[in-house]
């Protein structure tokens, strides 16, 4: 559990909040690249860490991320004209380039020209993996680019979506870091069910409750859920937590080939999160249409309104909960693995009171994440650099296997961790 004061520190992300200052030291997803696919296309509203912004791709293909409100009379630049390498406010014609400089003033006579004195807030951006990333921190502290392995494969081999979650970002992250719930909440009761989830015969469900091992690193940690299978075998599933809100996990495509997948729980504000869902083929096989529909996860276009990025299964309709399905097919009665997660994470309320929790050994990964987040806050407050802004996570992979109990699973599955693991807890 956390005290109420500690809970406030790790959940609040506004510009003046300790965690808000910490988050601003990292690159974070701002929007999907296809939302501003073409030069001079319509600008898009973006809200990050409680700040209202507007994104646009200019005539030369450069991406701007500006404060939404024009510094002249504070109207929204979302209504602006994206033209000739700048975004022009339609109220008085002030125009801004991607760096935030004012480059034209239609309402001012030439003899009173003072555009060189006017700037608006503009944040650095980069484009990787089908996402526009933004850095909202001090310019002199900009970190290495977020070159996760999934951002480095061809577009044919990866898939990225996003969906709004109506609760604090940490509830989403902690759900993703909690491996013990997965074969319970996401369990299928019927072996013949075609719904998303884990079938009774899968080692994930057939195994016993997991023992957790957490290997701390300079980017966060690797953790493994180890489940006994009978007398002589174990099921191992490894994950990575990359500070401050990234998860990497093993995954299989609809056709059965190896993939990695994961999420980024990006704070829109204190009580709303944009969850970015990604997957990529770790083989030479490109993704097919079934992989991109994400039927089992509940993230695809058939589940999420692509205009608002809000789930069609939500609090207003009890997330599609079907009690008959709950009795006969799935443990939850809700379709879509990530829809199940959102339902329960949102059920905690906008910001859960962690002072009322009762944690156990199965919550080891969550406990460690909270420690790392609080440590990062203290580091930034002291003027230091938080963990997770380096490059050691670039090649990290998550893995899953059934192994003989006597086998050294680290040597077998994660030999690359030998060089980055700092401590096992």
How many C-beta atoms surround the C-beta of residue 46 within 10 A? 24
Residue 128 has pLDDT above 90, yes or no: yes
Give the per-residue pLDDT at 329. 94
Residue 242 has pLDDT above 90, yes or no: yes
The Cα 216–Cα 387 span in angstroms is: 11
Q: Where are the domains of the chain?
A: 31-141, 149-424
The Cα 324–Cα 189 span in angstroms is: 12
The b-or-e profile of 177-186 (16+ CB within 10 A means b, else e) is bbbbebbebb
Cβ–Cβ < 8 Å for 136, 24:
yes
Mean pLDDT across the stretch 77-94?
98
Kindly report the average pLDDT of the chain as a whole number: 94
Domain 149-424 CATH (choose: 3.90.380.10, 2.60.40.10, 3.30.365.10, 3.10.20.740): 3.90.380.10
Instruction: For residue 227, name the pLDDT band (cuts at 50, 70, 90).
Output: very high
Mean pLDDT across the stretch 67-86?
98
Give the per-residue pLDDT at 195. 87
The Cα 29–Cα 265 span in angstroms is: 9
Residue 290 has pLDDT above 80, yes or no: no
pLDDT in tens, 371-424: 999 999 999 999 999 999 999 999 999 999 999 999 999 999 998 887 787 888
Could you tell me the two tokens for 219? 């980017």
Q: How many residues does the chain have?
A: 425
The Cα 325–Cα 284 span in angstroms is: 37
Domain 149-424 in the same topology as domain 31-141? no
Mean pLDDT across the stretch 16-45?
98
Residue 89 has pLDDT above 80, yes or no: yes
The Cα 202–Cα 283 span in angstroms is: 23
Of 112 and 294, more confident: 112
By CB atoms closer than 10 A (0-12, 13-18, 19+), residue 232 is exposed
How wide is the angle at C-alpha 195 spanned by C-alphas 194 and 196, nearest 5°?
Answer: 120
The CATH number of the structural domain formed by 31-141 is 2.102.10.10
SS3 225: strand
pLDDT in tens, 183-224: 999 999 999 988 889 899 988 888 889 999 999 999 999 999
């Amino acid at each position: 559990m956390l005290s109420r004061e500690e809970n406030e520190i790790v959940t609040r992300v506004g510009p003046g909040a300790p965690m808000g200052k910490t988050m601003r030291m990292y690159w974070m997803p701002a929007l999907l690249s296809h939302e501003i696919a073409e030069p001079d296309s319509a600008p898009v509203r973006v809200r990050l860490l409680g700040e209202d912004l507007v994104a646009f791709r200019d005539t030369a293909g450069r991406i701007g991320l500006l404060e939404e409100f024009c510094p002249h009379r504070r109207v929204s630049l979302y209504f602006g004209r994206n033209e000739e390498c700048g975004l022009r406010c339609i109220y008085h014609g002030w125009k801004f380039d991607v760096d935030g400089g004012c480059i034209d003033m239609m309402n001012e006579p030439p003899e009173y020209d003072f555009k060189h004195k006017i700037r608006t807030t503009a944040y650095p951006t980069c484009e990787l993996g089908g996402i526009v990333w933004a850095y909202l921190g001090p310019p002199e502290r900009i970190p290495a680019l977020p070159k996760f392995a999934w951002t480095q494969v061809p577009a044919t081999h990866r898939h990225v979506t996003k969906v709004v979650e109506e609760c604090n970002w940490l509830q989403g992250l902690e759900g993703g870091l909690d491996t013990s719930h997965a074969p319970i909440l996401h369990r299928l009761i019927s072996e013949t069910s075609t719904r998303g989830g884990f079938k009774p015969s899968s080692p994930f469900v057939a195994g016993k409750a997991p023992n957790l091992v957490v290997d701390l690193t300079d980017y966060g940690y690797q953790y493994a859920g180890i489940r006994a299978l009978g007398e002589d075998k174990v099921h191992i599933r490894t994950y990575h937590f990359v500070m401050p809100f990234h998860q990497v996990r093993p995954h299989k495509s609809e056709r059965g080939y190896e993939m990695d997948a994961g999420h980024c729980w990006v704070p829109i504000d204190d009580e709303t999160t944009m969850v970015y869902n990604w997957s990529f083929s770790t083989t030479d096989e490109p993704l097919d249409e079934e992989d991109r529909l994400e039927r089992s996860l509940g993230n695809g276009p058939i589940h999420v309104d692509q205009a608002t990025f809000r789930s069609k299964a939500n609090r207003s309709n009890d997330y599609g909960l079907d009690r008959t399905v709950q009795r006969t097919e799935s443990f939850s009665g809700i379709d879509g693995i990530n829809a199940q997660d959102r339902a329960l994470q949102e059920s905690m309320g906008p910001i859960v009171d962690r002072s009322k929790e009762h944690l156990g050994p199965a919550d080891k990964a969550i406990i460690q994440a909270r420690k790392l987040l609080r440590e990062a806050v203290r580091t930034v407050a002291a003027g230091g650099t938080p963990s997770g802004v380096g490059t050691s996570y670039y090649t990290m992979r998550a893995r899953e296997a059934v192994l003989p109990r006597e086998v050294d699973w680290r040597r077998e599955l994660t030999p690359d961790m030998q060089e980055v693991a700092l401590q096992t807890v």
